[in-house]
Structure 1
Amino acid sequence: MGRLLVLLFVYLGSYLVLRRLWPAVTRGWRHGVLLGLMVLAFVAWTVPALTGYGLHDTPAPLVPVKLFAVIWSIAALGVMLLGLPFLVLKLWSERRRKAAPPGVDLERRGLLVKAGQAMPVLAVTGSTLGVVSGSLGFTVREVEVKLKGLPAALDGFRIGQITDVHVGPFISPEYLRGAVDAMNAAGVDLQVMTGDLIDDVNQVDATMAALAATTARHGMLAILGNHEHWRGLEEVLGGYEALAQRGAPVRLLVDESHVLEHGGQRVRVVGVDFPMSGRSRTVRDSRWKHSADTAFQGGQPDDVVICLSHHPDFFTYAAEKGARLTLAGHTHGGQVAFLGIPLFGFAFKHMLGRYRFRDSHLYVSGGTGHWMPFRIGVPPEVTLLTLRSV
């Protein structure tokens, strides 16, 4: 219900901005079309939320309606946020025009206000392009990680990473199965799932069945993200436990490690939990320190340590504990980037791609799925990482 109220606020806010910046749209037949489309988009969100119909398996005829609702909602948010500065400028310009002495030219300010009238068109265009791009499916990204002093037995060791799948209204278990099949086809040695697997716990069984399709030599190791905690932790834990009881090659790591042997070389994979015990930085850091102290304990001096962390900023702790490579997600790469630079790069210290601290490396995936199909310049990805010795 909270999401519907936020959505209603966005729709009303965009309507009020349009009414002042582009009055012609709120008159005559255009007004009727605008309100009709707004109601259609809101109903497309409301019916599944209240009745469950179309929430899990959307009937094919309703898929365009769902995508339209996403496009409309993102465009409405853009109109409301981007239109506010133009609205303030228009109100200020009108006030100055009334107070201006005769003969003063305010034409330039008027041109800026008129430019704001093009903003709704840009918002709709950008929203449409982003939704189309976000709905095209994942790409397979090859990444080579060069590690100093890597044992010869691990030179060429391949890891397939999926993360932030968000099985739910827009991502199906079949989509996840396609991602697992892509890693299988690549012949990686180990597959990892670095959190935010599922949003709709009613699809746990089919989701776990998709993970169990792994054919990697060392199976699949998984960790939890924030969405597992939010959407139904007990159901998700139960799903992983059911896989373990059936002997499926999938193991969940929660502040613990798993040792595998490859070519006679021990590899210790550490998986840490998401710090959900508070929002403050102090509490988060305390939780991370506890996770690091717990998950990294034990092991042998010659172990090559790989860390799985949903939040990429755990990298500092992982590097201090000796992890040679940390794999993370969570950020979705901001979902919008231009020329490879995330638009919202300020939101996270480690947003997308490769990072290095001394001899420790971090790779932050842009995510395999999404909870909202909108991406520009950051396509969903299945990552294939190859370790190389230098």
Structure 2
Amino acid sequence: MISVTIWRIVLIAVFFGHFGLMLSLYNRINGVGMARRTVKRIVKVMFLYTILLPPIVWWLNQQALSDRWMGQVAVIRGDGDASLPLALIGYGIVCLAAYVVLGIPWLIFRPIFGLEWVKVKKKSEVVSVDRVCNVPLALTKKCKIESRLPLNQLFELSIDTIELPVVGLPLALDGYKIAQLSDIHLTGDVHPDFARYAVQRATAWGPDLMAITGDIIDKQSCIDWLGDIFGAAEATDGCYYVLGNHDTRVVDSWQTREAMDRAGWTDLGSRSLRTNLRGVPTLMIGNEHPWYERPVIQQKGEEEFRFLVSHSPDQIGWARRHDVQLMLAGHTHGGQGRLPLAGPLLSPSYHGSRFASGDFFKPPTTMHVSRGLCGTHLLRINCRPELSLLVLRRAGGPG
């Protein structure tokens, strides 16, 4: 027998564990390569389960308090019958266990502690793109309403110039400039001038190389925009791209690839390309897994540098196994929102919000994860869209 107060404290702890468990499962389900319809159905069921279970359990408990135990609650009655269904009691234990199994790792990898993070020098310029463009950026009623919501940073582009230390970076590549765009999400909600502005600023910076890390387009009707948006991009060593999970929403993703190819971009999807960057033999690799095939990479050969353009940061393990020194990724949108101190909660990744955005090092791979430009969800709270302008530095300084 336990007191009503203690029992209610336990129930509250279970409820928070329930929400944490569901959030963790939501992040991971959205990070796998299942068909979109399947993921949507699972998420809808999970949402209903997440919302409806707590009031049902609370109501059952109140019934138990008022009708049977008169001020005290027995988890298991003396005759062996549970005061709550055994399935719910078992699930409650799972929710409490989630504090240890999921909660402790989540806490350890909060951005404030900097575990596995790379210390970088960063300068940020915030541009309200809706004020510098000559046309309204919100095209649909949905976008017009959501863009005006308080705290929404939808059109506040953060142009981040980052000096990124890379372990194993060849000396000749110290100071190498890479402009990264990610998660363009052309849906028709936002005017193409928003993405065009980001491309113009990236080109004006004079990068050695430009890369897009996936999720370029969501709707078939936006394919005609690609040439106009990306055709003017320029970089000394070329412009490269991979596709992401949202690019599968177009009936035939080869139409997207062909449009990007016509715009002068090089398709790295699921393949590798040997090239030279400032005279350094380099293997450029594209990884669109799990939505498309992974490339087949041989053991490290004559190349001095391996550079991976990936949609998802979940490919960090693959990158490490294949001796990749630098990896660029997106997909997670920085979580779409970030809490003070705690950082992001939502992140479609096998790792949850651990790699939602930022700069990380897991030997031998240095990884930069972009917050991306846009999304199908048009809310960004304390999580501005990002254009990443990366200046590579040999870890420990030049020389």
Q: TM-score, normalised on structure 1?
A: 0.61
- For 1:362, which of 359, 362, 367 is the aligned residue? 367
Superposed counterparts of 1:111-130, under 5 Å: none
Q: Does structure 2 retain, via aligned residues, the 8 Å contact 1:131–1:375?
A: no
Alignment of 1:1-390 (within 5 A): 85=54, 89=58, 93=62, 96=65, 132-232=151-251, 234=252, 236-244=253-261, 246=262, 248-276=263-291, 291-292=294-295, 294=296, 296-297=297-298, 300-338=301-339, 339=341, 341-344=343-346, 347-349=349-351, 350-390=355-395
Q: For the Cα contact (< 8 Å) 1:176–1:207, is it kept in 2?
A: no
Paired position in structure 2 for 1:23: none
AA matched with 2:201:
A
Change (3 A) 1:361 1:337: same
Measure, in 1, the Cα distance between the counterparts of 2:55 and 2:188: 35
Cα separation, 2, equivalents of 1:352 and 1:130 = 24
**Bigger shift: residues 345-354 or 379-388:** 345-354
C-alpha contact 1:129 1:376 (8 A) present in aligned 2: no
CA distance in 2, matches of 1:209, 1:359: 38
Amino acid paired to 2:283: R
> Structure 1 379/81 Cα, relative in aligned 2: closer, same or farther at 3 Å?
farther
Contact 2:215 2:247 in 1 (8 A): yes
Aligned-residue offset at 1:173: 2.2
SS in 2 for 1:138: strand
**CA separation of 1:187 and 1:323: change in aligned 2, threshold 3 A:** same
Q: CA deviation at 1:136?
A: 2.6
Identity among equivalent pairs (%): 28
Shift of 1:156: 0.7
After superposition, the CA RMSD in angstroms is: 3.3
- Judge conservation of contact 2:310–2:328 (CA < 8 Å) in 1: yes
Query: What is the alpha-carbon distance in structure 1 between the residues aligned to residue 304 and residue 298 of structure 2?
Result: 12
* Paired residue secondary structure (2:250): helix
Query: What's the CA shift for 1:91?
Result: 7.5
Query: What secondary structure is seen at the aligned counterpart in 1 of 2:237?
Result: coil
Compared CA separation, residues 242 and 332, structure 1 to 2 (3 A):
closer
In the alignment, the residues of structure 2 paired with residue 182 and residue 324 of structure 1 have an alpha-carbon distance, to the nearest angstrom, of: 27
Distance 1:258 1:228, change over 3 A: same
Whole-Å Cα distance in 2 between the matches of residues 172 and 260 of structure 1? 35
**Shift, 1:266, TM fit:** 2.8
Is contact 2:147-2:154 (8 Å) kept?
Answer: no
**1:239-293: CA deviation from partner (whole Å, max 9, x where unpaired):** 432453x5x431111221234433322332211233237xxxxxxxxx5xxx24x
Which amino acid is 1:364 matched to? V
Which amino acid is 1:151 matched to? P
**Contact 1:161 1:192 survives alignment (8 Å):** yes
TM-score (norm 2): 0.60
Q: Does the CA contact (< 8 Å) of 2:154 and 2:385 recur in 1? A: no
Supply the distance in 1 between the matched residues of 2:259 and 2:155 (Cα, whole angstroms). 32
Superposed displacement of residue 355, structure 1: 2.2
**How has the CA–CA distance of structure 1 residues 303 and 131 changed in structure 2, closer, same or farther, with 3 Å as cutoff?**
farther
* Cα deviations by residue, 1:176-213 (Å, 9 ceiling, x for unpaired): 11111121122221111111100012111212321121
Report how far residue 163 of structure 1 moved. 1.2
Q: How many residues align?
A: 273
- Aligned-partner Cα distance in 2 for 1:256–1:241: 16
The question of whether the paired residues in 2 share the 8 Å contact of 1:273 and 1:309 is answered with: yes
List alignment gaps of at least 5 residues for structure 2. Answer: 1-45, 72-145
Would the aligned equivalents of 2:153 and 2:381 in 1 still touch at CA under 8 Å? yes
